[in-house]
Amino acid sequence: MTWRNRVEVSYRALRRNAAAVRAAAGGRTVVAVVKADAYGLGLERCVRIYHEAGVGAFAVAALSEADRVRAAVPEARVILLSSPLPEERPAVVASAYEVCCSGADEVRAFAALASPRAPHPVHVLIDTGMGRFGCGPDEAVAVAAAALADRRLRLAGIATHYPMATAPDLAEAQERLFAGVLAQLPALPKGCLIHVANSEGVLVRPGLLGNAVRCGLLLAGIVPDGCRDPGVEQAMTWVSSLSLVKRLPAGHGVSYNRTRILARDTLAGILPVGYADGYPLALSNRGAVLIRGQRCPVLGRVTMDYCIVDCTDLEAPLVAPGEPVVLCGRQGAEQISVVELARLAGTIPYDILCGLRGRCEVVGVP
């Protein structure tokens, strides 16, 4: 099978990033968030590398993802970050996956499926402002107390989530609510994770409340806008090659709806990458790619399967079909980062990473 484009995931960068995140966490347990196929980088490869690098646990959104983590590293500590479907609960208990519970009803439901001989690990998730999963701070003490008192359960964690770690007033208010709950709890079991900070939180929140952090974007080597770089490196490079090169005269329209009329005679390169592959439509007339280490602007509208770039300013020899192209990543001295692509497309880095689709091969490189 041949591929029109591929993502190359650097093992070296993943190892470097894991070490950098562990250092930034200051001795706290690092929980690697590997949902959505480890943000498009390949769950199994990332889990194995992070585990070897000393990451303490793995967090996912779906039961199917938990199964993949367990298959890759059987001894891994696996945490489901959100409520599984009711019909999935027996499988969660059978596999001993740790699960974040959003209230007393969920705690009771898991207790009913568990046994004192094998207490099931639960985390109490507290909604301090996200408005998604979690119980309210006023309920949290009772929910945690119920989990502590039930011999069929083991309290494995207490958690909350920042909707915006970079907003100091909001983050501080959440931390006060969370700390208020912790202050009312009895001594917690050994190994109980107290986790609040995500990738942004690790970089911007002083003190890092808790004994664990949850990181996904940082492990991929992506530094959120406005945050300091702890020494990570973008682990992915998205590459393709030119499928056709043609000359177009000044005044010629380019792509659907003729949103670009050429101001000069142009050497146009056609790339076999479009929005069906995850290259955003919003990069029409805005994006650029790297060819021979030089930026070549996107001309006209990005289509489902192709985009057209301006190769006119490249030095001799003339580009030809098969010429390597970098859509995101480094080529020579130039780099187009995931953060830059997201900014140009009016979206967030997660959307770029998770948007890579079926016609894009993902491979590991040393």
Quick: pLDDT tens for 194-234: 999 999 999 998 777 899 999 999 999 999 888 889 999 99
With beta carbons less than 8 A apart as the criterion, state whether 245 and 269 touch.
yes
**Residue 148 to residues 108, 152, 158, 182, 203, Cα–Cα distance (Å):** 12, 9, 12, 14, 32
Q: Which token pair is 92?
A: 């969660």
CA–CA separation, 340 and 291 (whole Å):
17
What does the pLDDT read at residue 224?
85
pLDDT band at 166 (very low <50, low <70, confident <90, very high): confident
pLDDT for residue 109: 98
Average pLDDT over residues 313-332: 95
pLDDT of 360 > 70? The answer is yes
3-state SS assignment for residue 110: helix
The single-letter code of the amino acid at 266 is: T
In the numeric block, the tokens 């709890």 are attached to 185
pLDDT over 70 at 353, yes or no: yes
Tell me whether residue 35 is one of the annotated catalytic residues.
yes
Percent of the chain predicted with pLDDT > 90 = 90
Active site residue 256: yes
For residue 1, what pLDDT band results from cuts at 50, 70 and 90? low
Q: What is the pLDDT of residue 134?
A: 93
Q: Could you give the CA distance from residue 166 to residue 147 in angstroms, rounded to a whole number?
A: 32
Domains of the chain: residue spans and CATH: 10-215 (3.20.20.10), 236-365 (2.40.37.10)
Q: In which band, very low, low, confident or very high, does the pLDDT at 179 lie, cut at 50, 70 and 90?
A: very high
Structural tokens at position 93: 């208990």
**What is the enclosing helix (H) or strand (E) of 17?**
helix 11-25
pTM (2 d.p.) = 0.93
Per-residue pLDDT at 255: 98
Q: What does the pLDDT look like over 110-149, one tens digit per residue?
A: 999 999 999 999 999 999 989 999 999 999 999 999 999 9
Q: From the candidates 39, 50, 256, 350, give the one annotated as an active-site residue.
A: 256
Q: How far out from the chain centre does Cα 328 lie?
A: 16
254, 267 contact by CB (below 8 A): no
Q: Structure tokens of 131?
A: 């408005």
Phi, then psi, of 139 in degrees rounded to 5: -95, -20
Q: Which of 11, 35, 39, 50 is catalytic?
A: 35
| Beta carbons within 8 Å of 54's beta carbon, 6+ residues apart | 18, 22, 30
146, HSE (Cβ side, Cα atoms, 13 Å): 20
Structure tokens at 21: 């995140």
Measured CA to CA, the distance from residue 308 to residue 302 in angstroms comes to 7
- Can you give the pLDDT at residue 182? 94
> Which tokens hold the place of 187?
């001594």
What's the farthest any 2 CA atoms get from each other in the chain? Answer: 78
What SS3 state is found at 237? Answer: strand
Rounded mean pLDDT, 270-282:
97
Q: What is the mean pLDDT of residues 66-77?
A: 98
Neighbouring CB atoms inside 10 A of 250's CB total 10
Q: What is the pLDDT of residue 208?
A: 74
Neighbours of 35 (CB within 10 A): 19
Q: How far apart are CA 244 and CA 339, in angstroms?
A: 29
Q: Do 40 and 353 contact (CB within 8 A), yes or no?
A: yes
For the chain, the straight-line distance linking the first and the last C-alpha, in angstroms and rounded, comes to 22
pLDDT tens-digit profile of 3-50? 889 999 999 999 999 999 999 999 999 999 999 999 999 999 999 999
